[in-house]
A = this chain, B = another copy of it.
Amino acid sequence: MKPVIRRKSSKAKAYIAKNKANNKNVGSNTINKNYLLHHVFFWLKNPDSIIDKELLVKGIKTLAAIETVRSLHVGLPASTEKRAVVDTSWQVSELMCFDDTDGQKVYQDDPLHHAFVDTYSHLWSRVLVYDATGA
C-alpha cells in the first residue's frame, strides 16, 4: 500500500467543525435519527481462502482511522440456525456508523478509503451495500 498522507480536505474540516458539538454524545445512548448505518457485505473470489479472508479483515480495520467513522464492526457469517431467509453466502462484512450522510460522504472520499479499495479490491468478486438511517 502506498503511504497515505493524512491531509484533511476543506470539506472534511468543515464537517468536523460542524459536528464538534455533537461528538460529546458519541458512545452515549442519545439517539440521533440522522445517524447512518453503512453495512457492506463482501463475497471473496476465493471464498475458502483463510489468508484472503484475514487480509480483507485487516484491510477493513484500517478504515476505523477515518475521522467520521464513529464505530466499526468487522464481521463473519454467524453460526445461527439455517433458515431460507438468512443469507450466509458472503464471507466478510463491515458495519460502520456515521453521524449523518455527510459523514459517510467524507469517508467515501477519504484517501484511506481509496487506498483500501486499491489494495484489497482484487480479493472480492462482489460487494453489496445497505445504507440505513434512523426511523
Asked if A29 CB lies within 8 Å of chain B CBs, one says: yes
- Cβ contacts A78-118/B at 8 Å (1 or 0 each): 11110101111010110100000100110010000000000
A contact patch SS: strand
Indicate which residue in B78, B133, B134 contacts A36 across the interface (CB closer than 8 Å). B78
Quick one: given A78-B101, A79-B101, A80-B101, are A86 and B131 in contact (CB under 8 Å)?
yes
| Contacting pair A75 B41 (CB below 8 A) | no
CA of A127 to CA of B131, assembled, Å: 16
Number of this chain's copies in the assembly equals 2
Q: Which residues of B contact A128 (CB under 8 A)?
A: 85, 87
Please, which residues of chain B bring their CB within 8 A of the CB of A104?
Answer: 78, 80
**Would you list which residues of chain A between 50 and 75 have a CB under 8 Å from chain B?**
57, 73-75
Known: A39-B39, A74-B135, A77-B131. 11 other contacts (CB 8 A): A36-B78, A37-B75, A37-B78, A37-B95, A39-B95, A41-B130, A75-B134, A78-B101, A78-B132, A80-B101, A87-B130
